[in-house]
Amino acid sequence: MRLAGKRAFVTGGRQGIGRGIVEVFLTEGAEVITCGRGPAPSDLDAGWMSLDVSDPTAVAACAQGLGPLDIVVNNAGVQVEKTVVESSDDDWDLIMGVNAKGVFNVCRALIPQMRAGGSIINIGSISGKVADPSMALYNASKAFVHGLTRSIAVDHGPAVRCNAICPGWIETGMLDAGFDLAQDPEKAKRDALARHAVKRFGKPGDIAAMALWLASDESSFATGQLFTVDGGMTAASPLNPGLF
Amino acid sequence: MMLNGKIALVTGARGGIGRAIVARFLKEGATVYAADLTPEGSLDQHDDDGSQFVKLDVTQEADAIAAMDHVRAEHGQLDILVNAAGIEIEKTVEETTLEEWNQSFAVNSTGTFLTSKYAIPLMREAAKSGNSASLINFGSYDGFIADPGLAAYCATKGAVHALTRAMACDHGPEGIRVNAICPGYIDTPMLQSFFNGDGSGAGGGNIETLQRAVRDVHPMRTYGTPTDIANLVNWLASDEARYASGQLWVLDGGLSAQVQQMKL
């Protein structure tokens, strides 16, 4: 039980990567509270708060009820598949509100009540380092997360550590939405698989495994870093491997 | 004339990229020593372009010493060194022989070290003019992310990147700027060899189809020309770049800015 005695707050735990992190943390003995927009899912054993992380007042109120924490995971995120020219003001407010301001809101509210030795884990993205096409605001919002991660590590060490995980392509609803952009989604999926050194897409559990290590005391010297978990995709040139 | 009165030496100067650099340097008013194994280099022929050919095998310490002695005797200083000599073995680690591995490092990494080692005293002299000297290495975007079947090449370029930062750190206080250019796909004999060679796995496929496909993966929808590289080398060599040092300058038509192309 690598997280026995620790209290964790995970944003966006209803599904996908967040759900995977909540389940692993529970298995490893942590007390876990998660949140999302809307009511609690019926099949979740963790504590639940109905919360939109983009709302600073709601986040502050939520912090009052959370009590002391050892682990905070900023996982809640949204994506809109558009270029800069296609994006509306509402798209900006949604993406930057949740992905960027949401991480700021949660960190600002919760850092003061984190216990010494605490660990903040932000979900960044490989898209914050290299661009996915037609994901302009999403890519930019994740680069914000990477920058904020370093700032928090620098400003709030040694009391708190802060790292980001940069997932590659993980099998979630968001990945399917990305493939729906392709002219031939099945062909695009085969091609994408060929680019992965491990020849498969990631699963939420792959990211949860990294989150578990960063949440545990085994990572007590790790802070301010971006940890890419992408099956080797961004280690390779973006040239189509089928060409050579 | 951005390089008026400057003395420059370019290694690999008779290769695809090297020739474009030499031509640009001459146009900008520099005196240019074109160093290579032969006057023809990796191309079939060479027309006199106004540069002075220097025979230089970058893997041989005696050649490096002799080349710099020659420059010292004629000018007493060197303003610009471009380490453009390079080779590419198109194999995986498992396929690469120790000899091929050592040769890759001898040319790409040790060659950069040796030429720089004997050029630095002359560049220190040039910096006494008050304008910094500029040492430009050739890294590669392959030093950051891998192309398949180029293991030793990728590794040698990673070494050049680290050496670039180390030299910038050590010799900046002496007025020597050190940068690396990291080209992506540039239309050179080396690239055409890659398209045709065993490493391409083209398997009898149509070379033009392959070339078009490679172009289309680039956000700029083309691969680069030696002139594109020479444009940046020229800027880094000039006094306009007087504050630029210790950096790795990727020039790849946006290739490595993207995760990959989804809309196939």
Transcribe A107-138 into DSSP letters: HHHHGGGEEEEEEEEEE--GGGTSBPTT-HHH
Percentage above 70 pLDDT, chain B: 95
Asked if residue A13 is part of any domain, the answer here is yes
End-to-end CA separation in angstroms for chain A: 46
Asked if residue A151 is part of any domain, the answer here is yes
Closest by Cβ to B263, choosing from A183, A233, A243: A183
In tens, the pLDDT along B103-140 reads 999 999 999 999 999 999 999 999 999 999 999 999 99
| Mean pLDDT within B217-230 | 91
Chain A residues near residue B262 by CB distance under 8 angstroms: 132-134, 178-179, 181-182, 188, 192
In tens, the pLDDT along A38-66 reads 999 999 999 999 999 999 999 999 999 99
Residue with the larger pLDDT of the pair B189 and A140: A140
Asked if residue A123 is part of any domain, the answer here is yes
Tokens matching residue B163: 């050496």
Asked if residue A110 is part of any domain, the answer here is yes
Q: What is the CATH number of the domain that holds A161?
A: 3.40.50.720
Residue with the larger pLDDT of the pair A190 and A96: A96
Look at residue B170 and tell me whether its pLDDT is greater than 90.
yes
- State the CB neighbour count (10 A cutoff) for residue A242: 12
Tokens matching residue A126: 């490989």
Asked if residue A159 is part of any domain, the answer here is yes
Asked if residue A241 is part of any domain, the answer here is no
- Judged by CB atoms closer than 8 Å, whether chains meet at A236 and B148 is answered as yes
Q: What is the largest CA-CA distance in chain B?
A: 59
At residue B137, the pLDDT reads 98
CA distances, B109 to each of A181, B152, B159, B221 (Å): 43, 11, 6, 31
* Count of alpha carbons within 13 angstroms of residue A159, beta-carbon side: 11
What residue numbers bound the domain in which A88 lies?
7-172+203-231
E strands within B118-259? 133-138, 176-183, 248-251
In tens, the pLDDT along A77-130 reads 999 999 999 999 999 999 999 999 999 999 999 999 999 999 999 999 999 999
Q: What is the pTM of this model?
A: 0.87
Q: B200 pLDDT band (50/70/90 cuts)?
A: very low
Tokens matching residue B259: 């995760």
At residue B261, the pLDDT reads 59
- Judged by CB atoms closer than 8 Å, whether chains meet at B146 and A236 is answered as yes
Tokens matching residue B49: 């372009």
Q: B198 pLDDT band (50/70/90 cuts)?
A: very low
Handedness of CA A215, A219, A221, A224 (dihedral sign): negative
For chain A, the domain total comes to: 1
Q: Which residue of chain B comes nearest to A238, CA vs CA?
A: B260
CA distances, A71 to each of A10, A17, A116, B9 (Å): 8, 16, 11, 57
- Give phi and psi for A126, each to the nearest 5: -60, -25
Q: Which residue of chain A comes nearest to B219, CA vs CA?
A: A133
Asked if residue A197 is part of any domain, the answer here is no
**Which position among B33, B118, B141, B153 bears the catalytic label?**
B153
Q: How far apart are CA B157 and CA B250, in angstroms?
A: 12
- Judged by CB atoms closer than 8 Å, whether chains meet at A182 and B258 is answered as no
Q: Does B222 touch chain A (CB under 8 A)?
A: no
- ipTM for the predicted complex comes to 0.78
Chain B residues near residue A133 by CB distance under 8 angstroms: 258, 261-263
Question: SS3 string of B130-162?
Answer: CCCEEEEEECCHHHCCECCCCHHHHHHHHHHHH
Domains in chain B, CATH or no CATH each: 7-185+226-251 (3.40.50.720)
Asked if residue A242 is part of any domain, the answer here is no
